Amino acid sequence: MLYVAGNLATALGEVFGDFPAAAVCPRYRVALLRPTAPVAVLDLRGQGAAMRIGALPSLATGDYPRPRTQPWARAIYEDQPVARRRIHGVYYDAAHSNGPALALWNTEDRLEVPADSRGAVQDFALAEPRMWPRVVDAAVSLGMRADLVAHCPTCS
């Protein structure tokens, strides 16, 4: 499963939205992605879209905990309820920021991290000096703070 956000605030909200602060590990990164092949998604944002697959209309817009939404995503992945095409994920409005977000399945061969015109790959550590102010601003826009942790329990 790959979660993709349309902007940094949405990405932070998806990862840290249930907490009062974003505890950012020095190893956390953000990257731009570009499709290399078609990526078909089920758009859950439209009126009636969720109901057409047997879900509650608020599935795509409600602030449900992940243990409640992940089974729906798993069912969509397994059942493929969209006729005439195989989908690679769902497009939804993120609960914490209302920004655009994707949850994608098995798309590693359909996406790449592009390089800019100078050849620099568009993949950045959140702790980088030019990224950190953007992280702090994005966290503040969500009503939280961002803390750079020295020793990440996940990475240690």
pLDDT tens profile 34-88: 999 999 998 887 777 766 666 666 655 556 666 666 777 777 777 766 656 788 9
Q: Looking at 83-97, 104-118, 131-145, which range is the least confident one?
A: 83-97
Residue 2 has pLDDT above 60, yes or no: yes
Mean pLDDT of the chain, nearest integer: 85
pLDDT at 98: 80
pLDDT higher at 26 or 46: 26
pLDDT higher at 30 or 64: 30
Parallel, antiparallel or unpaired: strands 100-104 and 89-93: antiparallel
Q: Which residues contact 84 (CB under 8 A, 6 or more apart)?
A: none
* CA 128 – CA 45 distance, rounded (Å): 34
**Strand boundaries in the chain, DSSP class E:** 2-5, 21-24, 29-31, 34-35, 41-43, 89-93, 100-104, 111-112, 123-125, 145-148
* CA 126 – CA 20 distance, rounded (Å): 18
Q: Cβ–Cβ contacts within 10 Å for residue 49, how many?
A: 18
Parallel, antiparallel or unpaired: strands 145-148 and 21-24: parallel
